[in-house]
Amino acid sequence: MRRICVFCGSNAGHDPRYRAAAEQLGGMLAERSIELVYGGGNVGLMGAIADSCLAAGGTVIGVIPEALVGKEVAGRHVDHRALTRLEVVDSMHTRKARMAGLSDGFIALPGGFGTFEEFCEILTWGQLGFHAKPVGLLNVNHFYDPLLALFDHAVREGFLREQNRAMALAETDIGRLLDAMSTYRAEPVSKWLKEERQL
């Protein structure tokens, strides 16, 4: 994986472990020579991961809609250092498509509605065969346990296939998550679509 897109909150959350995990992830991406693609802001967990990646000598590419440039204080980070590259786009839809196109994998840190939506949409794109890239949750302090339980509930109730549920990689440890993503191989969509027609 040459680049990983990280979805995360524009807030830092109440628990300091969330920011610490964002900083650790940013540093580890730089250490592994993996470029960071993210939402372009310098507030909350977005700012924390970009700052730590830049401080460790990493490459950071921000993608932000023009309407959010002021709100998310785009562009300036550690010691007023600029991002490696900041792309200002016309809409949230363009932002998501651009981030997906730039990236070889995706990780969600804790966040709110926007983070949930980005994570679930990129999973859906994988389910439909629009990409075969790994998608992971960094389950800091078990933040995502309720969401993972919902995915399991959807399997039991017949709304989600086991093969698709398995696409959502989840780890509490950053190194284990990156290792799982590096060995991930997507199951061909045609296989499970054929099985579905045969039921």
pLDDT in single tens digits along all 199 residues of the chain = 999 999 999 999 999 999 999 999 999 999 999 999 999 988 899 999 999 999 999 999 999 998 887 665 555 554 445 799 999 999 999 999 999 999 999 999 999 999 999 999 999 999 999 999 999 999 999 999 999 999 999 999 999 999 999 999 999 999 999 999 999 998 877 655 555 555 5
Question: What are the phi and psi torsion angles at 97 (to 5°)?
Answer: -65, -40
Q: What is the pTM of this model?
A: 0.90
Query: Which CATH number is associated with domain 3-198?
Result: 3.40.50.450
pLDDT score recorded for residue 77 = 54
**What CA–CA distance (Å, rounded) separates 45 from 135?**
19
Domain limits of the chain? 3-198
* Dihedral, 9, 131, 134, 77 alpha carbons, nearest 10: -40
pLDDT score recorded for residue 67 = 85
The sign of the dihedral angle between the CA atoms of 44, 49, 55, 58 is negative
Question: Coil, helix or strand for 124?
Answer: helix
Distances (CA, A) of 4 to 22, 134, 171, 181: 13, 10, 16, 10
